[in-house]
């Protein structure tokens, strides 16, 4: 398998490729969020259907799906703000339907389109949250100072929130979720309607929080590139169902068209070199097709089928370059784009969903895919 592809993921990514651990897996920490066949129906509409999910300490888990796919409903059930129709959930070892206050004491939540009391200052808003969480006055003030520092709002803390920009409100929202020193952070669309620079700031902040505090973050988004850039694992939601879980690579393997792409940077001064390169790359076994770049410095794209042969093909390219005297400038596997995976996953016919559903029995995803 293409182990080297996972280079984009900093932080403690889960080591096992199996998204659903079993009792036989003793090294794995207990999940902080775990759902079993969690279902929510509104009348005839099934908002969330038989959801099995696990989120572990120290990871960022992304819930990916279109609007109305059931992400927010799932989050509300995890917080005990909405009662599941059937199935059960466990958050920090507690059932949110039965002990919502204990769960909410340990879980920081940033709602979709978070709002604050505009007339109060940022600090006063946080103080209210701290008081509601039962923090003593001195505890509250030090916690507020700390989280304001973390989200970079210390300078503006004493301005009324109505003077804040969208991005500042969102950061204040994260500070608000953090002020209770939670074990888990649940963020609903944390980057919606924020300018690109603000998004980068927020995503950096989240990564820093996971690294510094070791908490687990679950975030929902429909912005694929952001999810891909920050999340360790991703769950793809469509019409209330979780149709795939795993790292980007696992998902690519599960839903991809069976090919992998390697980018090859080549320095080719003459047309003869170009022809030689095309012939050499095309001759490598398991290479499906080659997108040539032409004269001079260029990036060639080599499509590999099956995707599992990608690591070997990369080596073969290196060997071929040496053999044929091609000057390499770069050689790297292309991380599959989540956009592509998502499109494929959502468009996937029902038969395949049946395959996904069987994961509920504890069997790993990878097993179902012939290599």
Partner 1 sequence: MSATTVPVATEETAKPRRELRVPHGGWRVIAAKELGDDLLSVRFIVLLIVLGLAALVPLYAAADQIRAHATQASGTPAIFLALFILSSPDYSFLQVASFVSIVAPLLGLAFAFDAINGERSEGTLPRLLAQPIYRDDVINGKFAAGLAVIGIVLVAIIGIIAGFGIFRLGIVPAPEEILRLVSWILVTFVYVGLWLAFGLLLSVLFRRAATSALIGFGVWFLFTTFGPFILDAIGKALSPLTGSTTNELIGQAQTQQLISRLLPGQLYSEVTSVLLNPTNNPQATLPGSLGQAQQAQQQIPTLLAFDQSVLLVWPQVVVLVAMTVACFALAYVAFMRQEVRA
Structure tokens at 253: 């393997």
Taking the complex as a whole, the smallest distance from the CB of residue 26 to partner 1 amounts, in Å, to 11
- Cβ 187 to partner 1 shortest distance, Å: 12
Residue 133 touches partner 1, criterion: CB under 8 A: yes
Using an 8 Å Cβ cutoff, are 269 and 250 in contact? no
List Cβ neighbours of 123 (8 Å cut-off, separation of 6 or more): 144, 148, 157, 158
Q: From the list 5, 14, 19, 34, which residue makes contact with partner 1 (rule: CB under 8 A)? A: 34
Q: Rule CB under 8 A: is residue 36 a binding residue for partner 1?
A: yes
- Compare residues 82 and 220 and give the one whose CB is closer to partner 1: 82
Cβ at position 292, least distance to partner 1 in Å: 50
367 forms part of the interface with partner 1 (CB under 8 A): no
| Count, residues near partner 1 per rule CB under 8 A | 48
Give the nearer residue to partner 1 in terms of CB position, either 132 or 322.
132
Site for partner 1 in 273-302 (CB under 8 A): none
Ordered DSSP codes for 62-131: EEE--TTSSHHHHHHHHTTSS--SEEEEEETTB-TTT-HHHHHHHEEEE-TT----TTSBHHHHHHHHHH
Q: 89-97 contacts: CB < 8 A, separation 24 or more?
A: 89/33, 89/34, 89/35, 89/36, 89/38, 90/31, 90/33, 90/34, 90/35, 91/32, 91/33, 91/34, 91/184, 92/32, 92/183, 92/184, 93/30
Nearest to 105 by CA among 142, 132, 75: 132
Q: Does 362 bind partner 1 (CB under 8 A)?
A: yes
Options 48, 61, 84, 176; binder of partner 1; rule CB under 8 A: 176
Instruction: Report DSSP letters for 212-255, one per residue.
Output: HH--EEEEEES-HHHHHHH-SEEEEEETTEEEEEE-HHHHHHHH
CA distance 263 to 334: 6
Interface pick for partner 1 out of 63, 79, 151, 286 (rule CB under 8 A): 79
> How many residues in the chain?
371
Stretch that binds partner 1, among 28-36, 193-201, 203-211, 314-322 (CB under 8 A): 28-36
Q: Does 173 bind partner 1 (CB under 8 A)?
A: yes
**By the rule CB under 8 A, 132 interacts with partner 1:** yes
Strands 216-221 and 60-64: parallel
Closest CA to 74 of 39, 30, 32, 31: 39
358 binds partner 1 (CB under 8 A): no
- The interface mask with partner 1, positions 179-208, x = CB under 8 A, is -x--x-------------------------
Q: Does 220 bind partner 1 (CB under 8 A)?
A: no
> Quick one: which segment of 97-105, 149-157, 239-247, 286-294 binds partner 1 (CB under 8 A)?
97-105
Q: How far is CA 30 from CA 15, 135, 363, 364, in A?
A: 14, 28, 18, 18
111 is an interface residue for partner 1 by CB under 8 A: yes
The three-state secondary structure class of 349 is coil
Nearer to partner 1 among residue 52 and residue 249 (C-beta) = 52
Closest approach of partner 1 to the CB of residue 172, in Å: 11
Q: Is 128 in the site for partner 1 (CB under 8 A)?
A: yes
CA distance 222 to 236: 10
Structure-block tokens of residue 244: 């795939």
Give the shortest CB-125-to-partner 1 separation in angstroms. Answer: 9
> Which single residue is written with the structure tokens 């980068």?
200
Of 117-125, 212-220, 242-250, 270-278, which part binds partner 1 (CB under 8 A)?
117-125
Q: Is 239 in the site for partner 1 (CB under 8 A)?
A: no
Q: Is 109 in the site for partner 1 (CB under 8 A)?
A: yes
User: Contact residues for partner 1 (CB under 8 A)?
Assistant: 22-24, 30-31, 34, 36-37, 72, 76, 79, 81-82, 88, 90, 92-95, 101-102, 104-107, 109, 111-119, 128-129, 131-134, 173, 176, 180, 183, 360-362
């Amino acid at each position: 398998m293409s182990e080297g592809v996972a280079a984009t993921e900093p932080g403690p990514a889960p080591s096992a490729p199996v998204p659903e651990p079993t009792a036989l897996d003793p090294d794995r920490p207990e999940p902080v969020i775990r759902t079993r066949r969690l279902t929510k129906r509104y009348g005839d509409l099934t908002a969330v259907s038989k959801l099995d999910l696990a989120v572990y300490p120290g990871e960022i888990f992304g819930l990916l799906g279109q609007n109305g796919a059931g992400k927010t409903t799932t989050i509300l059930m995890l917080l005990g703000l909405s009662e599941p129709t059937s199935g059960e959930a466990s958050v920090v070892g507690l059932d949110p339907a039965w002990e919502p206050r204990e769960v909410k004491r340990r879980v920081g939540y940033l709602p979709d389109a978070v709002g604050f009391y505009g007339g109060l200052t940022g600090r006063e808003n946080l103080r209210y949250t701290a008081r509601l969480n039962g923090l003593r006055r001195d505890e509250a003030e030090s916690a507020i100072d700390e989280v304001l520092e973390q989200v970079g709002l210390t300078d503006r803390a004493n301005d009324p929130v109505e003077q804040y920009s969208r991005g500042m409100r969102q950061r204040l929202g994260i500070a608000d979720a953090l002020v209770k020193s939670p074990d888990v952070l649940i963020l609903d669309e944390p980057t919606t309607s924020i300018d690109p620079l603000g998004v980068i700031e927020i995503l950096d902040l989240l990564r820093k929080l996971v690294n510094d505090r070791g908490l687990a973050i679950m975030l929902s988004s429909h912005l694929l590139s952001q999810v891909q850039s920050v999340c360790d694992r991703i769950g793809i939601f469509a019409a209330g169902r979780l149709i795939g879980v795993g790292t980007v690579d696992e998902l690519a393997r599960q839903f991809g068209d069976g090919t992998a792409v390697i980018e090859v940077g080549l320095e080719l001064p003459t047309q003869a070199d170009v022809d030689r390169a095309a012939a050499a790359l095309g001759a490598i076994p398991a290479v499906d097709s080659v997108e040539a770049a032409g004269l001079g410095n260029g990036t060639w794209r080599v499509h590999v089928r099956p995707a599992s042969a990608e690591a070997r093909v990369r080596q073969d390219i290196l060997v071929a370059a040496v053999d044929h005297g091609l000057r390499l400038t770069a050689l790297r596997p292309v991380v599959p784009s989540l956009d592509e995976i998502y499109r494929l996953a959502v468009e996937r016919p029902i038969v395949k969903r049946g395959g996904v559903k069987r994961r509920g029995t504890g069997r790993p995803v990878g097993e179902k895919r012939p290599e």
